[in-house]
Amino acid sequence: MSLWPAIALVLLVAIAILWRFAKPSGPLALGVAAGLAAGLAGYVIQGRPDLPSHPVEPRAEAYRGDTSFAKQRGALLENLGDVGAWLNFADALQRAGMTERAVEAMKVATKAFPESPDLWVGLGNALAVHGDGFVSPAARLAFARAAEIAPDHPAPLYFLGMAWLQSGQPGEALATWRELREKSPPDAPWLPDLDRKIEAAETMQKMGVGG
Residue spans of the domains in the chain: they are 3-46, 67-207
> Does position 26 have pLDDT exceeding 70, yes or no?
no
User: What percentage of the chain exceeds 70 in pLDDT?
Assistant: 61
Contact 166, 41 (CB under 8 A): yes
Q: What is the mean pLDDT of the chain?
A: 74
Angle, CA of 175, 94 and 114, to the nearest 5°: 65
Confidence of residue 109 (pLDDT cuts 50, 70, 90): very high
Quote the CA–CA distance of 69 and 84 in Å, as a whole number: 17
Instruction: Determine the pLDDT at residue 71.
Output: 59
Q: Using only the alpha carbons of the chain, give its radius of gyration.
A: 18
Distance separating alpha carbons of residues 76 and 29, to the nearest angstrom: 44
* The architecture CATH gives domain 67-207: Alpha Horseshoe (1.25)
Q: Report pLDDT for 203.
A: 93
- Report the pLDDT value the prediction gives residue 141, as an integer from 0 to 100: 95
Confidence of residue 70 (pLDDT cuts 50, 70, 90): low
